[in-house]
Amino acid sequence: MNVIKYNYEPYLKEAFIEMNEYWIKKDYVLEEEDKRVLSTIDDSVRNGAIIYFVIHDNIPISTLCLTPLGNDTYELVKFATKEGYYNLGAGRLVLEYALNDAKKFAKRIIIATNKKCLSAIHLYEKFGFKEFNSNNTYGFSSDRVDICFELNLGR
């Protein structure tokens, strides 16, 4: 398994959309904000977002995106692993790679998620993310968001 960054490759764009739509629809409703984010990933990358992929046997099996919010803060969004490839460590690998890369350009990473995402929350906590109250800092628009985490990278 290796990690690569998205560079407008159509097959990676399709994999990003498919993986994220699948995990969202599995437990939640695909919201308008999800559709907007997934349909505009090339624009997001042109505006500073970075999308990472774990490739296994030439197949993209895990992905996440770091989106700039300003003030050297990035939001980790659309973190998903392809069905059938769970428990290979791909999610851990892509997260570790992205966080190490982010140390070059970010001071803080935030995540808005749902308390039902227990394995993801456990992974975030392993990497040092701490829960924070987002009421006064960011207005996350997704109905499924009920918990937020942050990681200060010490830049």
Which one-letter amino acid corresponds to residue 137? T
55 pLDDT exceeds 70? yes
The DSSP line for 7-50 is -S-HHHHHHHHHHHHHHHHHHS---HHHHHHHHTHHHHHHTT-E
Starting at the edge strand that comes first in sequence, how are the strands of the sheet with 2-5 ordered? 2-5, 50-56, 59-70, 73-81, 108-113, 147-152, 130-132
The average pLDDT across 14-41 equals 93
Residues in the chain, overall count: 155
- pLDDT, one tens digit per residue, over 78-100 is 999 999 999 999 999 999 999 99
Closest CA to 45 of 60, 64, 67, 17: 67
Predicted pLDDT of residue 17: 97
Domains annotated for the chain, with CATH where assigned, are 2-152 (3.40.630.30)
Please give the model's pTM, rounded to 2 decimal places: 0.93
pLDDT > 90: percent of the chain: 79
* Phi and psi torsions of 13, nearest 5°: -60, -45
The average pLDDT across 49-66 equals 97
